[in-house]
Structure 1
Amino acid sequence: MSIHNRKIVSEITRYITGDCTPDDRRVISGLIDTDPLYQQEYKELNQVWNHTGIKSIPVFDVNVAWSSVEERISKAPSRRIHRIQPVHNQVRKIAGYALRIAAVLLIGIAIFQFLVPHTSFKTIASGTSVAAPLSLADGSTIFLNSSSSIKFPEKFGGNKREVYFWGEAFFEIAHDPTRPFIIETGETRIKVLGTSFNVKAYPKTNRIEVVVNSGKVLFYHVDKNDHILGQVILLKGDKGVYFRNTGQITRLLNDEPNYLSWKTGLLVFSETSLDKVLTAVGQKYGVTFNMADKDLSQLKLTATFDNETLDAVLEVLQLVHNLQFVNNGNDYLVKKK
């Protein structure tokens, strides 16, 4: 703010709070009527002042207060009072300064509260199962996979829509060209205007992945000061991958047709090698597979599973390829019978 503008703000602050002489008030009033800069500052500061609900700042008559103190002291026995003019003047000056400081502080606090309103956030966590669809205030819909959470404002304000996310989810973002939608996932950001995409950003993994289902997505990673270190633009069918261990971000063609199986319940395979089949099955059901013989990975499968249980899927694999699955908790050893 320039010195000239600070002077205008100071004068209008004194005018609004009543901390000026009648002559000063007439001068400032005239400037507000004729000077566009004064008019603009008065409009903004007066709006903030009215927002505080404070009608006026108490005015203290220092002369009356001092006389009252002297009178009380003089009535006390064996006491003599000497009126000390310098102290009296000093009190008057201090009181005046205090009122000015109080007025400026009150307006400063009001400006902060008025321009930076408090935002209420909600946090939703999915636990061990897929959560019900979540609708946001802007019309966007989010589907959370298991072990995922999202933090978002009850109402989006300002010039952007921002949420904080961990885990895996499918986003259907309502189109709004004036307010981009930004997803924070630790060290990466996903910025869109209106599109649909899947995000996988579990905290303890080395990769953060974004697969675009429709529209266009800006995927980038930042430093601790939110400065962009690298970015890629993703279109429909693209997959963006950020590697936490190297800090590299890259764009690939998505070669995983079942990346949304956790949401749709569908697993579709067409002459797919067994190692890729087991990877997709493992991701959907939260288990891992280890093959006793590397040659098993050359086996192929063509099949569709629609919301089947894990046991039902494994039973089909056993029958088609004469396999055996040895269960050890969430781990399976795969071998020929």
Structure 2
Amino acid sequence: MNNYKNFEVTDWVDDPGFRKWVYKGEQDSFWISILENTPSQAENIEQAKDILLMVRGEFDNIPEQELALRKSKLLDYISQEGQVRSWWRGRWFQVAAVLLLTLGFGGYYRKQFFPVPYNAVLSRSGSTAIIEIINNTEQVKLVTLPDGSSVILKKDARISYPDKFYADKREVVMLGEAFFEVQKNPDKPFYIYSGEMLTKVTGTSFSIKANATDKQVQLVVKTGVVEISRNKAGEETKTNHLTLNPNQLVTLNRESNEFKTQNVNEPVLINLPIESQYFTFKKSSLKDVFSTLELVYGVHINFDKIVTVKCNITARLGDEPILEKLEMICEVLNARFEMKNNTVSIYSDGCEK
């Protein structure tokens, strides 16, 4: 029988029976007796339980192998910075655990994401809550940020951001493949931390490919101007700073830490319809317009097809986020809209004959 009186936090986390109790409630009376008979271990047990619950996250059926990997990475990182106990008393323990759940486990990302970029989002925003979205579906997933910017996530992509942005900047952390349409605001730059690459824009559209297992991070510009630099200590660097224009692709080699730029015929990087869609409509029916928006943004739009049968749109929409596009369309139609859970409802009295 184990000598639980001498257990450290890592010993509790490694104990198979303890893990089964935390996850499945097995041998409940036994572990309750252990708690009662070893009161000096109460703090270590509580820390170990929270570690196990954090690495498991919101999923119920994570394989034991992946649980072991998450646990190992978390404890390894904590041990690099100090004792578990000292970390537990600070906020960084929770940040590290969340990062492991949301930002992947590759060697590159452990080095680059810990701890500064996520800390930047947490501390600079003044926010009390961090929102984390992961696309676990086969379809694209639309995310609308607090400033109205649109992000389209491909499968397995994820983004983390505060529920409110800081007064003079907007910061997000992302991993995977995503397309951004950033709300224009020159006075409040928008920063994307994607591994070793730091992207700064004030309002534009572009695609990012930053998969944890890839040897490179890539970005291609669809509209506007994008500034790129290496992500070092969560700040903009003066060296290796690039400015990209539409139809320019940049590749950051993670091993050499070097940038390579090239011109492309089309700004297509992650094979999403929105990358090649420029939203040009000429006497287009409302049905066709909304079908286009549904396709590229992955939303569902409800509207009265009979009432709006005579409505048509002639317009060239740009790189505005979807909310702004809907506002422009509804202004022309003298209509209004509501959006909830990626479902848009249009309310219109129809158009004049």
TM-score normalised by length of structure 1? 0.42
Q: Which has the larger radius of gyration?
A: 1
TM-score normalised by length of structure 2? 0.40
